[in-house]
A and B are shown apart, each in its own frame.
Chain A
Amino acid sequence: MESKGVSRRDFIKTVGITTALAATGTIPPVLYASERRLVTFPEKTELLLLTSSPPQLETPLKYFRELVTPNEALFVRWHLSNIPTSVDLDSWRLVIHGNVDKPISLSMDELKKFEKVGYTAVIQCAGNGRSFFEPPIFGGQWMNGAMGNVTWGGVRLKDLLKSAGIKSGSMEVVFKGLDKAALPTVPGFLKSLPLDKALEDDIIVAYEMNGSELPMLNGFPVRLVVPGWYATYWVKSLSDIEVTDKPSENFWMKTAYRIPDDPCGCVEPGGAPKKTVPINRMTTRSLLINPEDGSRLKSGQSIELMGVAFSGGYSIREVLVSIDGGMNWSPARLGKDLGRYSWIQWFYPWQPAKPGNYQVMVRATNSIGESQPLDGLWNSSGYLLNKIEKYNLIVA
């Protein structure tokens, strides 16, 4: 067993946090959670380590300067420790069964005979930004790197389901991958979609990321892509699709990955929800990517602030930027539009006239008016984070 990737690197803090310390002189509450080592896993560039088994690896923010996130830099998040480490396409099959006329079992070649479709879509973990919740929440202490923007290629789930023939009375479609738990008492990782959702045109079984095969750690050979919805549904190393005539009783749908059943998906900080629903569409977000939080700039020098904005399947209509802690806001220029599931880059030219500490804030609004709250909304699982982020830039 090779242990080089995890064990020998020096323990370092990320640039963002160290600079935040330099800027404010106080220890931010996220410091403990953000002490991260950079590690190299197979087919991956150096990513920030959350956990090694099952692997949870976070993308350093600098990769989001690109419109499309390289495969080697995309974050990794598995739930069960026996993840697939070997797949032979000669024997691999994707099975579609359950409440269907004719169960089918597809090889990769057979799968690729269905019409190929594709688009660029943000993939984001439900718990992205969990480490910023106050009071803190158990679970992966992600900063903002559990996301990426990828061009997916594959076949429509709808086409596969139709070729198996959905029987009347069907309710849900259940997805299962090749990952397994260490003990049989741990519930297998199953996710399901209501049938009408599963039949939407844009849900695909993807065999390509940015024109290449999927890295093993991102779900080789195929994964489900549910654009606009959180990545918990984007089942990796997908091998089994079952149409059912009753609602799923599985732990990962019924108990985990649920949000408060109210319009904000939130409760009083520290509180518990009365009623919950399965998490679904992503909230609207925007981030400053360059310069990084805590950067030092020269007074009088022109720069361009740059970042990304996205929402759960609706185009971004507007991004507003404030450089004075939210007192004044002006629109940013939006970059190339790769469609409603992609993130869009925003740019804001700025020439700081005077030395001092500047607080930058960014706020996006999508085409149906969804935007970002000033203060964080809280829920007991640390999902849906989309508060307006605050960044410090020091001009000297």
Chain B
Amino acid sequence: MKFIILLFISAALFFTSAALAGDQGFVKEGSKRSITLPAPNITLKEGPGRDVTSSYCRICHSLDYITTQQKFTKAKWMAVVTKMIKVYGAPISGENAKIIADYITTHYGIGG
């Protein structure tokens, strides 16, 4: 029942909001086009390792690259952190990599 109510609320929100198209943040001046992007605004969940994760994992992209993934195990998250270091050159020490993998698995993954 709760879900059905939610359905109507989200449907209503969905259709009213879709009417508002966005020309805010776009400027056309003669031969020039410019946009202003909305600033990323993601706060990671409280817990040990959050600050290390927040500061290193947003150097190259926003933190929603973490928060919008599905649930993965620690081994999988460790592999992602290793990929960021080895393939993309993330400046993260081995010790911090472990802290980050622990933190993400606890708050956004599955298992320990």
A residues with a Cβ closer than 8 A to B are: 1-7, 9-10, 12-15, 18-19, 21-22, 29-30, 32-33, 38-46, 49-55, 60, 62, 72, 80-81, 83, 85-90, 131, 136, 138, 141, 181-187, 213, 216-217, 220-221, 251, 255, 294
Contacts and interface: CB of A to CB of B under 8 A. Distances in A.
A15 B11 contact: yes
Contact of A1 (B11, B36, B71): B36
B33 A41 contact: no
Contacts of A89: 31-32
A52 to B, nearest CB: 4
B83 to A, nearest CB: 9
Interface secondary structure of A, over-half rule: loop
A12 B13 contact: yes
Interface secondary structure of B, over-half rule: loop
Given A13-B10, A18-B10, A53 B62 contact: yes
Contacts of B68: 33, 50-51, 141
A19 B33 contact: no
Contacts of B42: 52
Contacts of B71: 32, 136
B59 to A, nearest CB: 6
A233 to B, nearest CB: 21
Contact of B72 (A1, A55, A138, A217): A138
Contact of B25 (A5, A38, A60): A5
A51 B37 CA distance: 12
Contacts of A50: 64, 68
Interface residues of B, number: 48
A81 B80 contact: no
Contacts of B87: 251, 255
A33 B38 contact: no
Interface of B: 3-4, 6-7, 9-11, 13-14, 17-18, 20-26, 30-42, 59-62, 64-65, 68-72, 76, 80, 87-90
A72 B23 CA distance: 10
A42 B10 contact: no
Nearest to A87: B33
Contacts of B88: 181, 183, 185-187
A19 B70 CA distance: 20
Most chain B beta carbons < 10 A, residue from A30, A45, A72, A184: A45
A18 B11 CA distance: 9
Contact of B22 (A5, A10, A49): A5
A42 B36 contact: yes
B22 A44 contact: yes
B7 A40 contact: no
Given A18-B7, A186-B88, A55 B18 contact: no
A83 B42 CA distance: 20
Contacts of B9: 12
Nearest to B26: A42
Most chain B beta carbons < 10 A, residue from A15, A50, A187: A15
A12 B89 CA distance: 35
A52 B41 CA distance: 8
Given A19-B7, A52-B62, A216-B35, 4 more contacts: A2-B39, A12-B14, A15-B11, A131-B70
Contact of A7 (B14, B41, B61, B89): B41
B89 A41 contact: no
27 contacts: A1-B38, A2-B36, A4-B24, A6-B40, A14-B10, A40-B24, A40-B38, A41-B38, A42-B26, A42-B37, A46-B20, A52-B39, A55-B37, A60-B18, A81-B60, A81-B61, A85-B34, A85-B36, A87-B32, A136-B72, A181-B60, A183-B89, A186-B89, A187-B88, A216-B34, A251-B87, A294-B7
B25 A141 contact: no
Nearest to A83: B37
Given A51-B64, A217-B35, A138 B22 contact: no
A50 B42 CA distance: 12
Q: 7 closest A-B pairs (Cβ-Cβ)?
A: A185-B89, A40-B22, A42-B25, A5-B38, A42-B35, A136-B70, A7-B41
A53 B40 contact: yes
A89 B34 CA distance: 11
B72 A220 contact: no
A33 B37 contact: no
Given A12-B13, A141-B68, A182 B25 contact: no
Contacts of B60: 80-81, 181-183, 186
Nearest to A43: B26
